[in-house]
Structure 1
Amino acid sequence: MYHHLPVGAYTSQDWFDREQRLIFSRTWRFAGLVEDIEGPGHYISVQAGLNNLFIVMGRDHRLRAFHNICRHRGTQLIRAVGKTQKALTCPYHDWTYDLEGNLISVPDETSEFPDGVDKSCLGLKPASVDVWRGMMFVHPDPDAPTLAEWFGEVDPLLGPHKPEELVEYAEGRNSYEIKANWKIVVENYIDVYHLSHLHSNTLHMYDHAKAEYGWKGPHYHFWEPPSAEYAKDHEANLPMPRTIPEPHVGAWVPMLFPGIGIGASEESWNLFIITPLAPDLTRIENRTKLANVSDWAFQKQQWKSWGFWKDFGGAKYRGDDATGEDDPMASGDFTTEDIYACEQQQKSLKSPYLEIGPASVGESPITQHQKAVLAFMQDD
């Protein structure tokens, strides 16, 4: 037996609440891409466990992070994303802060607060913000270790991509919900064994038997080469222009703890952001970046590879419509297959007859992730 977590870790509200406090409130949280904040006054907020945080660019073009809490009555100051000209004003009583987090205005101060208000000690509570590979992260702790320290030795194993030099593919940005615990979603993501089975007709362009994977701290790294058929005339077979220089080939699919997946290949770079919503509900946000090339170069590569993918790619690439079959396994889409598998597994957790069997070698990453979860949960 390999399972290190009880069933309650996937179903219990109490366990879920403890995870929010002990894991997601104590680790770095992806907030957005650097281009999401274009100039002074632009801001973006994100939930990090029990904490709603926001990043704002100051007049000095410096990024700062704060807890999204007014120091008067605790009202959240801002919405998810937006822009302000010079200041941040609480909607409740109009207490106002500058872009550096200092309290600068209290309405009716003389009449409402006859003893005065010491604004110098009522600035917004700071959090940490750091940028890594063109991605912004926040941490509730203003003295958190840097991202370089957090990711540590896993960094060089995440692929040669430079996402800050790529451009976002707007149509590739989406979000959806999976009716399963966030750990089931992570475990599916890092399960090497299932690649050759659940995705036998959708991810067969890579040689799963030659996958290389492991752990650095709580972070999982993964790389696998293209299959022999895909590798023949590989440059012509790429569906889109290269995002990395030759001779780099393959798929890099790490999972950064606790739930930041990256799916990168020769021709694309993708983010897979996991947000737990409830013990049995998880939201996924996808963002995709491609090579910064002309429309003509993009179309030329697609035309060049069309014949290969028409024959090799399956129903999805041929344009076959399988939606009428109402069968996720006939969708020709590996994401649909994964969602189906995760939700079916979550349903089984309710059965008193559930008993987890032995783990394959390719499922060993699941064991390591569960150990990482336990390490945080026991540090209470």
Structure 2
Amino acid sequence: MPDDYGCLPNEAYTDPAYFEQERRTVLSSTWQFAGRASAVPDPGDMLPTSVAATPVFLVRQRSGEIAAFYNVCPHRGAKVLPKPCKSAKTIICPYHTWSYNLDGTLRRRPHFDGADNHDVARDDDGVERPSLWRVRAEVFMDWVFLNLDGNAEPLSTQLQPLVDKLEGYDFANCVYGGELTFDVRTNWKLAHENFLDILHKIGIHPELQKSSPIQTNVRYEWLSDDLAISHHTVEEPFEGRGEGLPGLPGFPESMRRLGLSAHIYPNANLQLWDGQLTLFSCTPLAPDHTIETFSVYFAEEAMGEQHRAHRDAVFEMWRHLNEQDIEPLIWMQEARNIPVFNGGSFSPYWDEMIAKYVEKLKTDTRGFISSMTQAAGSERS
């Protein structure tokens, strides 16, 4: 690999202008994990969340569909949904109590034309009224993904190569078991790159190296432009890695002793072992601020009381591994303020995946890196 292949300048991890460019380009043009479908099970259930540092919310429709909207009222820009809501009949902005139907259309504007003179929408009144702005949403398994610019290929198309690789495995057989969240003062790309970094388990995760030695790791294989997969062999299973839990129903027999990792471009990942499935997402909030979410799933049989200790061990395992990672993530974020560091010196074997990932980010931020580099060069000269 060329010396600068896969390297981003420090500013790509620290500069607010670069972060804004990411929000407008790569984070808006791709599918972003927004939450679980099971978190809004009934009509009128609503969940505020954030994608690409943009407030949005999910609403279960009466039809069963999940709709998503920008979390902003077209009246004065207040947040429409400050907190989760169950079984609502309407969506009511708390600032001036404008109300909307669950599909986002305006229903009522109290005192809009003067005190006690309310504007009530009727189908036949011919009045144009603002609606909530809808965001494109698709659901895969239990996961709701949003595409802000509305132009991404269907989510099912992006994930089909993974389904094919898993021999048609039916993810619907998994049951939600709980989640962990971590508030990390690092750039979202560093958090995601850390997931793609196989080599760091030797120094940071010795228990993983013992259970699944790096010698058993297979480098990431790109199945499409937006999906890559890797695996390792679990030579010494231990509690927390599915040990003692019923296997996922229908999981391919050829894969039951493997740990599989799937990268869903640009900031979501799957981890599969025989007894558990975890979706890991990195939600960017600021150049140096990321929320990591681990949503964990088991076989329905594993949800009984007799398996509680084994399920708890899975969450303890994820908590421990992520706590091991947090300090290195902070180290790497701090290093982006050291002028002599220029983005890294990659292993052509282990770091090839990260390098290709970063090169794709360079393309998808529409040349912003080149313009930054040229500007920096002009300033130095």
Assess if the C-alpha contact under 8 Å between 2:184 and 2:290 holds in 1: yes
Residue 33 of structure 1 deviates from its aligned partner by 2.0
Instruction: Give 1:214's aligned residue.
Output: 221
Secondary structure of the residue aligned to 2:50 is: strand
Assess if the C-alpha contact under 8 Å between 2:31 and 2:146 holds in 1: yes
User: Are residue 243 (structure 1) and residue 248 (structure 2) matched?
Assistant: yes
- Give the aligned length: 348
1:72-221 to 2 correspondence within 5 Å? 72-111=75-114, 119-142=127-150, 144-157=152-165, 162-170=170-178, 173-212=179-218, 213-215=220-222, 216-221=224-229
Structure 2 Cα separation of the partners of residues 102 and 360 of structure 1: 53
1:207-265 per-position Cα deviation (integer Å, ceiling 9, x unaligned): 432333222213331122222x559xx9xx93322124462321111221221122210
- The counterpart of 1:57, out of the listed 60, 64, 69, is 60
Letter in 2 for 1:184: L
Instruction: Give 2:328's aligned residue.
Output: 341
Residue 184 of structure 1 deviates from its aligned partner by 1.2
Letter in 2 for 1:367: A
Instruction: Give 1:364's aligned residue.
Output: 352
> Which runs of 5 or more structure 2 residues have no equivalent in the other structure?
369-381
Name the structure, 1 or 2, with higher relative contact order (CA <8 Å, separation 6+): 2
Structure 1 Cα separation of the partners of residues 127 and 161 of structure 2: 43
Residue identity (%): 22
1:320-335 to 2 correspondence within 5 Å? 333-335=320-322
C-alpha spacing 1:86/1:144, structure 2 compared with 1 (3 Å): farther
Residue 115 of structure 1 deviates from its aligned partner by 11
Secondary structure of the residue aligned to 2:181 is: strand
User: Are residue 298 (structure 1) and residue 307 (structure 2) matched?
Assistant: yes
Instruction: Give 2:50's aligned residue.
Output: 47
Residue 299 of structure 1 deviates from its aligned partner by 6.6
C-alpha spacing 1:188/1:299, structure 2 compared with 1 (3 Å): closer
Structure 2 Cα separation of the partners of residues 143 and 363 of structure 1: 30
Superposition CA RMSD, Å:
3.3
Residue 342 of structure 1 deviates from its aligned partner by 1.7
> Which runs of 5 or more structure 1 residues have no equivalent in the other structure?
307-315, 318-331
Letter in 2 for 1:337: Q
Instruction: Give 2:377's aligned residue.
Output: none
1:136-173 per-position Cα deviation (integer Å, ceiling 9, x unaligned): 11222356532123435344346865443222223xx2
C-alpha spacing 1:31/1:159, structure 2 compared with 1 (3 Å): farther
User: Are residue 258 (structure 1) and residue 263 (structure 2) matched?
Assistant: no
Letter in 1 for 2:270: I
Structure 2 Cα separation of the partners of residues 65 and 221 of structure 1: 29
1:113-142 per-position Cα deviation (integer Å, ceiling 9, x unaligned): 899986544222221111112211122235
Assess if the C-alpha contact under 8 Å between 2:158 and 2:226 holds in 1: no
Q: What TM-score, normalized by structure 2, do the two folds share?
A: 0.80
Instruction: Give 1:373's aligned residue.
Output: 361
